[in-house]
Structure formats: structure tokens, C-alpha cells
Structure 1
Amino acid sequence: MSKRRAPKRKASRARKPRQHTVATVIATSTLGLALATGVGVTTVYNHLNGNLDVMDVANQLTDRPEKVDVSGPMEPLNILVMGSDSRDGEGNDIDGLTGGGQRSDTTMILHVSADRERAFGVSLPRDAMVDRPECTTEDGEKIPGENPAMFNTAYAYGGPACTIQTVEQLTGIRIDHFVDIDFGGFESMVDAIDGVEVCIPTTVDDPAHDIYLEAGTRELEGREALAYVRERYQLSSNSDIGRMKRQQAFVASMANKLVSADTLSRPDRLVSFLNAATKSVTLDPDLDSVGKLSDLGLQFRNTGLNKIRFITVPIAAYEPDPNRLVWTSDADALWDKIINDEPIGADLSEGVITAAKPQGGSTGDGSGDKGGATSEEEAEQLAANGLCT
């Protein structure tokens, strides 16, 4: 059973606010690499490149949607992020789902605007009932489609390729890149930056799944962090919906930690994080090197943390089975916004989480969220999802 770590208290200093960007992490990481090794950046880059797994699924994708021409200095990007995991093996059965090999825990469409000034991730529930299209395996064999089928069966049957095929057919969105993240390396990524801060509204004591998390705001490391993003039974009143929101909040908080002084001033943490991250991802051929990933990251130089937002596809209960979900008709409006690279308004931003405010609620940044303090209704919604203000 995990023991509580005492909250870290740091003296606050008055200083001029500044807008952190993704480019800050990229530039400082490069400097960190140089400082951390006496043999130079090139050797470390080669090591990190050697960590990367690359998968070409282009020949497995059919009937792909065309991209719409939009105005802007660059082409908008749609990146499909998949978090996959195996519960087999000692210590991996945190949520009681041992067996079945690799499965999809998290799927998110990350849309990056043509002007690179805003980005948002849309989480897709794994238990949503959808029309899964026919897919093709790496060996050219056909995987029959199914309707209705749980969304995450696409990954279980056909991995990243079938998941991309399913998302493209359901949404009409052309996926430009994909990133498949193995949660097996998740603990190392969190430990590399000395933990990630979360706020837990109520203590979780779940001996059946070996999870114990004390209430309060504190930094979680390693296994505790993995338990936090996987927990399905006590922390939220709506199982996988709450878990998705906590995963969004955790990713947002991790982004916040990466641009903090605690990380940027520590080359050892930067190198450790990059080493753990590159060991944990599978990428498409257009992102097959640290250099290409850095080039992509530098395109975010104007993207502040308050412009990196996370939402969930509009969903409702699936009538034949209340334990399952279904996308609502409002999802079509969301896909149209992404296809045409348009900002998402308040009507599609319920429960938005930003990297600037990882716990969710109001940001007051004029991007469609309500300004001011978090309302009682918002606080109740956060609590229902296992979050707090």
C-alpha cells in the first residue's frame, strides 16, 4: 500500500507573470542535453532516436477523408494519441483487468490550429458504442466491421491502424500523425520530473485493486500516479467518464510541471524524462526522430498553456446498456469545427481543462469559458469526476 508523501511547500516570490510555451521546453531540453553529457548533444540525440519505435500503417488505411483547405500560415494538424497498456505481469493489475494483452486505455484527437496559436485535445471514451468499420491487418487480412461495437475493440483487434481507420470513418477528420504511448513507461516519465501535482477530493481506499490515495493536493509519483489515472471504482461517480477527465487533468498538470522552474533548471530531470518518453512511444514515419519531434514542438512557440485545452466528445448513456456510452449529435458539430480549423465555442467546451489550470473549471482567458471563480455547479461536476477546485 502506498504511503502518503508530505506536500512540498515552496516559498513564493513575487515576479512578473510570463507565458510559458511548448517551445520553452524544447529549447531548454536541448540546453539540458548539452549540460548533462560531456560527449555532446549529438550522442544523446542518437541515443534518444534509438529509443523510438516507428510503425508505418499507411497501407492499412482505406477510404481516407480529404483535408479541407483553410487559411493560415501552416497546415492544421490532427494527431491521434493512443494510450495503450497490458495488465499482464506482476504489478500491472491495478484496475482488475488482467489478460487480453494490449488494450486501449486512452484515445484523444489533438487538433493544432493553422496559426499554431491554439490546440485542443478531444477524448474519445473507450466504452462508447460505435459503428466500427472493416480494418486491415499488417499482413493484409481483413478484420470484419461491427455495429454496434465498443470503440476500444478497434485497438484490441487491429492496433493503431484500425483505431485510425475507425476515427477517420466516424468523424471525417484526416489524421496526420499518430502517437501510441505505452503506459508501461508512464511511471518512469512521472518519476523523471519528480512527480505531478493533483488534487484528490476524497480519500480512495480500494484494497481489492490495491489502490490507496489520500485526499488533498500533492504530487504523485510512479505507481500512485498510475493508480490515479486508472482508478475506476471510488474516485468518480461515473467510472470511465471521470477517469477520462482525470487523465486530461493529469496530462495538463504534467505539461505545467515540464515548463516549471523545478524541471527547466534541472538538466538531469529533462534528460530522464526524454529518455523515458522516447522509450514509451510508437510513432508514424513522419515523426521518426527526436529532430522531427523538436521541429514539431517548435511550431508551438506562440501556444501558451492557457491555449492548450482538453474536452470530451459530447456523449450520453447508451439506452440498451446504461454501462455504455454513445456520441450525441453534437459531436458532428465538433468534427466540423476540427475539419474547418475553427475555434470551439462555449457550447462545445463544457468541463474544459487547460494546461494553465489543470483541475478544470473557469480560466477567464476569453476562449469560451466562463470567467471568474468556479461556480458551485462546476465544483460539483469536478468532484463527480474525481477532481477538485
Structure 2
Amino acid sequence: MTGHVTERQGSEDESRSGGGGGGERGVPEGLGGRGGADRRSGALRVAGLALAVVLALGGAGAGWVYWRLNDNITGVDIDGALGDDRPARPAPTASGSAATPAGAALNILVLGSDSRSGAANQSLGGGDSAGARSDTAMVVHLNTGRTEATVVSIPRDTLVTRPSCPLESGGESAEASGVMFNTAYSVGGPVCAVKTVESLTDVRVDHYVELDFAGFAGLVDALGGVTVTTGADIDDEDSHLTLPAGTHHLGGEQALALARTRHGIGDGSDLGRIGLQHQLVRALLDRIASTSLLSDPARLYEVADAVTGSLTTDTGLDSLAELVGLGQSLRGLPADAVRTLTMPVVPAPWDRNRVVADEPEAAELWASLR
């Protein structure tokens, strides 16, 4: 049954997301300079990882390796579930179809979920699978020709109108106003997360990629850890992370705790955590760029297995071949053309512990991606 409800907000572990932290709203981070070149190198290696696995582990057993990694990936038919009531796709080009025009602009919703399903996730996050939410949400926009990329983080505590969503159990959820963005995933999984992003932005989501707790921690461990520098002491009882200011080499569990930290930094808002998450992404790319995966097939397989084993995508990306195709299309991405931003937000007037889109700046940002 479809109706309209207003949801009461929040639990203690999702509190205080208003105001400050995370740098300027909607301002690109990390453009140009040495950092841009490092991320360029790392991005290429990430994009080509699936292809590298197949090539490096060729010969005896390659068929089994491909099958194992391919079978790891979970696919969700988001297009089938949502139908045609969505923002329009770009018009077809001479080189491709309307659905997948070659080199056309793409928008990919990337979620880091706090799913507690499975023993590995429960040991890292506690709680139960029913409490799963999208802990991290980024819209990755690739322009026509794949010569530029823009990564826009959506704070999970942003208050939105969550549309009615189809449920796995049948029927639909009720539309709900003034609810936190990250509740969409807990209500209707990937399908509702995509529909809520499209409702918020009026941007068509072409693909969906989700990595859970265990996948992120496993990737960091498989790479031998990552190095980050914190500008202030961190002491967060909720994420169980205590770090003095300075440079640290973190294993998977510590890196995950840093990605989830919010109460131990700044004003405790989600915007500060987004800044840490952007730093972790850069550290991961740097680590991949500096690790000779192609000369170490065992580690290469370990990395690929860690990622694909915790990966959920839409059915347009749920095979190694499709992921390889996407990676190959990014080989021409210039060094200085990757931007990271946070959707412009302001504290909600009726709840200073939550944020809302800062208009008209937020609408202008999404319009620029369209």
C-alpha cells in the first residue's frame, strides 16, 4: 500500500550532522598538482584491475580464476525494478545505443554500506543485517568522452523526501518526507537508494556499485594497509578509533573505523567524516599505484577476490567483462580532470543536527551534471 508518512529522525549513532566540517560546500578538492597525478595513476590501476587479474593469472587455472571472481559479484536488476518513471537517459549517439552509447556520459552511484549480514561484517560493525544503511554515498559523473570525472558526496544525514519504492517482499514502501537520506537503503536496498538519489537530483543513475564493511577492510588488508595523515587527535568511542595527530599506517579494521569516524573530529558532523573518506580514497589509490600487483599474481588475486566478494552492482555491471569494459573506457581520463565535492548543504532550520540541500547551489550542481 502506498501512502505518505513523516518519519521521526535518528538514533544516537547517527546524531549531530548540522553545520561545519568537511571544508567548503560544493568546492572541488584536490585539483591539479602532484596529488592529481598520483590519483590519475591510481585511478587507472583501479579501473584496469579486473583486466589485470585475467591477464596476470593466465594459463593453467585462468578459467577457474575468472569464474570465481565473476561469480563473486552480486547483481541487482535496478532498471527492471524501477521501470520508466525516472530521469531521461541522454539521446542516442552515432556510436552507440540509447541504453549504452559508446563514450557517453555516465552517472554511477557508489555506496559503502554498513550491512551487518555475514560473520565478517558482524565482527567489524556489530548489530544486525536489518539495520543496514548506506554509510557512504557518492555520485560519480563521467562526462561524454570520459575526459572528466566529478565525484559528489551526499551526506547521509541529509533530510529528503524518500519516494515510494518497490520492495523485495512485494508491494511498495510509503513515501516519507523529512527523513534521512541513508534510510532509503535500509527500507528498499539498492533500488530505493537509486530512486531516492534520482528524486533528489533529477540525474539518471546509469550504474550502481556497492562495497560493504568486509569488502573495504579486506581490500585494505590485501594491499598491505594504507598511510594517512590526521591533522588532529581522534578519539571516537562509537567507531572505536583512537589516533594521535600525525601520519599512520592503518590496517583494514582501523581504516574502516576512520571511514566511519564522526564524533571524534571537528563538530561531530557527517561533513567531517566525508573529508576523512575522501582522504582514504586517495590513500587507497596511492597504495594501489605503488604496489606491483602485476608482478605478484597471488596478491593481485587476493585484492580482486576481496573486492568482488563484497561487491554488489546493477545487472549492467555484474560481470568481470562489463567491469573491464568500463575500466577500459577510462584510460583517456586526463590527470587534472578528477574533482571531489560534497553536495552543498546547510543545517535544517527545524533540526540543527541534520542538514538539507543548500539551494539554489545544490540544484545548480546537479543541473551541471545533467
Q: TM-score range by the shorter chain?
A: 0.7 to 0.9
Quick check: 1:80–1:175 contact (8 Å CA) kept in 2? yes
* Matching residue's letter, 2:207: H
2:316 match: secondary structure: helix
* Matching residue's letter, 1:230: R
Structure 2 unaligned blocks of 5 or more = 1-36, 94-100
| Offset of residue 204 of structure 1 | 2.4
| Offset of residue 198 of structure 1 | 1.1
Greater relative contact order (Cα < 8 A, sep 6+): 2
- 1:145-164 maps to which residues of 2 (within 5 A)? 145-164=175-194
Name the CA shift for 1:33/1:75 in 2 (closer, same or farther; >3 Å).
closer
* Matching residue's letter, 2:223: I
- The residue number in structure 1 matching 2:368 is 337
CA distance in 2, matches of 1:321, 1:182: 29
- 1:218-367 maps to which residues of 2 (within 5 A)? 218-329=248-359, 330-339=361-370
- 1:164-179 maps to which residues of 2 (within 5 A)? 164-179=194-209
2:111 match: secondary structure: strand
Whether 1:51 aligns to 2:75 is: no
CA distance in 2, matches of 1:20, 1:304: 10
- 1:98-247 maps to which residues of 2 (within 5 A)? 100-206=130-236, 209-247=239-277
* Matching residue's letter, 2:362: A
CA distance in 2, matches of 1:19, 1:129: 34
| Offset of residue 24 of structure 1 | 4.4
| Offset of residue 333 of structure 1 | 0.5
Quick check: 2:47–2:327 contact (8 Å CA) kept in 1? yes
2:369 match: secondary structure: helix
| Offset of residue 21 of structure 1 | 6.4
* Matching residue's letter, 1:205: D
Match of 2:104 among 75, 97, 104: 75
CA distance in 2, matches of 1:213, 1:102: 27
| Offset of residue 306 of structure 1 | 3.8
Computed over aligned residues only, the root mean square deviation of the Cα atoms, in angstroms, reads: 2.9
CA distance in 2, matches of 1:75, 1:209: 40
CA distance in 1, matches of 2:239, 2:354: 22
- 1:78-93 maps to which residues of 2 (within 5 A)? 78-87=107-116, 92=122
* Matching residue's letter, 1:64: R
Name the CA shift for 1:280/1:215 in 2 (closer, same or farther; >3 Å).
same
Name the CA shift for 1:125/1:18 in 2 (closer, same or farther; >3 Å).
closer
| Offset of residue 94 of structure 1 | 7.0
Whether 1:61 aligns to 2:82 is: yes
Quick check: 2:116–2:122 contact (8 Å CA) kept in 1? yes
Quick check: 1:34–1:40 contact (8 Å CA) kept in 2? no
- The residue number in structure 1 matching 2:4 is none
Range with greater deviation from structure 2 (251-260 or 106-115): 251-260
| Offset of residue 86 of structure 1 | 3.1
| Offset of residue 92 of structure 1 | 4.8
CA distance in 2, matches of 1:121, 1:76: 13
- The residue number in structure 2 matching 1:20 is 41
CA distance in 2, matches of 1:38, 1:141: 48
| Offset of residue 240 of structure 1 | 1.0
TM-score (norm 2): 0.79
Name the CA shift for 1:201/1:40 in 2 (closer, same or farther; >3 Å).
same
Quick check: 1:33–1:40 contact (8 Å CA) kept in 2? no
Quick check: 1:21–1:305 contact (8 Å CA) kept in 2? no
User: In the comparison of the two structures, how many residue pairs are matched?
Assistant: 324
Quick check: 2:124–2:214 contact (8 Å CA) kept in 1? no
CA distance in 1, matches of 2:328, 2:86: 28
| Offset of residue 174 of structure 1 | 0.8
- The residue number in structure 1 matching 2:63 is 42
Quick check: 1:119–1:309 contact (8 Å CA) kept in 2? yes
Quick check: 2:48–2:327 contact (8 Å CA) kept in 1? no
Deviations 1:185-218 (A, max 9, x none): 2211101111122111223234565322232123
Name the CA shift for 1:259/1:282 in 2 (closer, same or farther; >3 Å).
same
CA distance in 1, matches of 2:276, 2:128: 22
| Offset of residue 53 of structure 1 | 0.8
Quick check: 1:73–1:114 contact (8 Å CA) kept in 2? no
Percent of residue pairs bearing the same amino acid type: 37
